[in-house]
């Protein structure tokens, strides 16, 4: 009766993906999300970071004269 009309009129407009562009975009992102590709990218990034860390450790133990262009050319050739 009177109360039922009041409640239903308050909730008659709930934005859906078809009426709200942001909601539609969020739905599309969630639907197209592929966690495996993210995992693969993160693993590649981690390997790259590990390589950088390894090379930094190797360089720190070498005691190289970084002012010598000849030494730097040799190092660049080995990289």
Asked if residue 55 lies in contact with residue 64, where contact means CB atoms within 8 angstroms, the answer is no
Q: What is the mean pLDDT of residues 3-23?
A: 58
User: Residues 6 or more apart from 75 whose CB is under 8 A from it?
Assistant: 59, 64
Task: Retrieve residue 23's tokens.
Answer: 């909601």
Asked if residue 71 lies in contact with residue 64, where contact means CB atoms within 8 angstroms, the answer is yes
Give the pLDDT confidence score for residue 27 in this predicted structure.
92
pLDDT digits (tens, 9 = 90+) for 17-74: 557 889 999 999 999 888 998 899 999 999 999 999 999 988 888 776 667 788 777 7
- Reported pTM: 0.43
The Cα–Cα gap between 61 and 11 comes to 69
Give the pLDDT confidence score for residue 6 in this predicted structure.
47
């Amino acid at each position: 009766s009177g109360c039922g009309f009041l409640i239903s009129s308050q909730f008659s407009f709930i934005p859906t993906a078809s009426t709200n562009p942001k909601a539609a975009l969020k739905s599309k992102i969630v639907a197209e999300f592929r966690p495996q590709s993210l995992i693969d990218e993160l693993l590649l990034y981690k390997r790259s970071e590990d390589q950088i860390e390894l090379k930094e450790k190797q360089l720190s133990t070498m005691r190289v004269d970084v002012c010598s262009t000849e030494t730097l050319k040799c190092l660049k050739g080995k990289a």
